[in-house]
Amino acid sequence: MKVLQFTIPVAYDKTVIAEKVCQKRHYPYLHRHKEIQITWIRKGEGTLIAGNHMHDYTVGDMFFIGANMPHVFKTNPDCFFTGSDKEVEALTIFFNPEGRLTQSFDLPEMKQTLYFIRQHQQGFKFPAYLRGKMSSAMVNLEQVSGIDQLIAFFDLLKLVVNIKTKLDPLSYGNLPAITDHEGIRIGIIYDYIIHHYGKELTLEDVAKVAFMTPESFCRYFKKHTGHTFVSFLNEVRINEACKKLIANRFETINTVAYKCGFKSITNFNRVFKLIIGLTPKNYMDNYNQNILTFNIQAG
């Protein structure tokens, strides 16, 4: 079986593609492509679904997504409210070591680079300390052409492969296989859950969106995402809860729990600790301590 295949538009005179997005949302369906991509979020926030895991993204975040890795950037629902002027803006670099760059990556000098890429096929989020250099290199690559763009690409690649810190994969284990039609259907299901997580959301509700019986939907969703409906819904809700808890809006933990669709504070605390490894209060304390430490070191 194959994942919804997305074809990157490749110009006849380009080896590396730099694509700038500035619109209401990213490409909305779960998809993959043979190119590796490096994406820098310049504006907007939401959730990156990569393989069988979810990650929040916000302004400044950068991601390395391996070749043929199923993924989709889901924009926060408030960007779609009537009258909203919010947009997402991102700069992405696409390249394929097995395409026009094959001979370059076969060079002895590229052995370490090729090893790094193969070791990180599951992708990763770039460490924050590298954002300044990476963003400058990506902007430079986008703005130049010809041999200068190729040189800029190898400069960017040098920054990537020289990362010394531990990089956690965006996804673990075997990636779920999804047919062309299913990639679109899963994307619609993801959209529905992400837009309605704060309400009472039942299995029957989501099954109707997929035009399935609840029993068939359970089997289908587990097979193609690696999640049960409940586990995926809980992860979406806890991801949103984490963002609200540290957003400095002075909302209580109880308020955040209810806004994220939990009816019971006890259940919210239990699920939060199961997914995050900390209680909501400890999570907030850790975040505030990290901010304080950063400010002391910076100032």
pLDDT at 81 over 70: no
How many Cβ atoms from other residues are within 10 Å of residue 92's Cβ? 22
Whichever domain contains 210, its CATH number is 1.10.10.60
Q: Are residues 201 and 156 in the same domain?
A: no
Q: Are residues 125 and 241 in the same domain?
A: no
pLDDT tens digit sequence for 135-178 = 999 999 999 999 999 999 999 999 999 999 999 999 876 655 55
End residue of a domain, out of 161, 185, 208: 161
Q: Are residues 153 and 205 in the same domain?
A: no
Query: Is the residue at 258 inside a domain?
Result: yes
Q: Are 252 and 229 in contact (CB under 8 A)?
A: no
Q: Is the pTM of this model over 0.85?
A: no
- Percent of the chain's residues with pLDDT above 90: 57
Q: Are residues 46 and 134 in the same domain?
A: yes
Q: Are residues 153 and 27 in the same domain?
A: yes
Q: Are residues 156 and 207 in the same domain?
A: no
What pLDDT score was predicted for residue 12? 57
What pLDDT score was predicted for residue 202? 94
Query: Is the residue at 172 inside a domain?
Result: no
End residue of a domain, out of 134, 161, 188: 161
| Of residues 49, 3, 10, 4, the one with CA closest to residue 26 | 49
Q: Are residues 157 and 201 in the same domain?
A: no
Q: Are residues 146 and 204 in the same domain?
A: no
| Of residues 177, 185, 144, the one with CA closest to residue 52 | 177
Q: How many domains does the chain have?
A: 2
Domain with 140, as residue range(s), is 17-161
End residue of a domain, out of 161, 187, 214: 161
Q: Are residues 56 and 138 in the same domain?
A: yes
When mean pLDDT is compared across 19-23, 85-89, 98-102, 224-228, the lowest value belongs to: 85-89
CA angle 290, 295, 299 (to 5 degrees): 155
What pLDDT score was predicted for residue 88? 86
What pLDDT score was predicted for residue 184? 75
Q: Are residues 53 and 113 in the same domain?
A: yes
Mean pLDDT in residue range 258-273: 96
| Mean pLDDT of the chain, nearest integer | 86
Query: Is the residue at 216 inside a domain?
Result: yes
What pLDDT score was predicted for residue 268? 97
pLDDT at 48 over 70: yes
Query: Is the residue at 98 inside a domain?
Result: yes
What pLDDT score was predicted for residue 79? 56
DSSP string covering 212-256: S-HHHHHHHHHHHHSS-HHHHHHHHHHHHHHHHHTSSS---HHHH
Query: Is the residue at 262 inside a domain?
Result: yes
When mean pLDDT is compared across 196-200, 250-254, 262-266, 293-297, the lowest value belongs to: 293-297
Q: Are residues 91 and 212 in the same domain?
A: no
What pLDDT score was predicted for residue 243? 85
Give 181's pLDDT tier (boundaries 50, 70, 90).
Answer: low
What pLDDT score was predicted for residue 108? 94
Query: Is the residue at 75 inside a domain?
Result: yes
Query: Is the residue at 183 inside a domain?
Result: no
What pLDDT score was predicted for residue 3? 40
Whichever domain contains 90, its CATH number is 2.60.120.280
Q: Are residues 112 and 232 in the same domain?
A: no
pLDDT tens digit sequence for 107-143 = 999 999 999 999 999 999 999 999 999 999 999 999 9
Query: Is the residue at 170 inside a domain?
Result: no
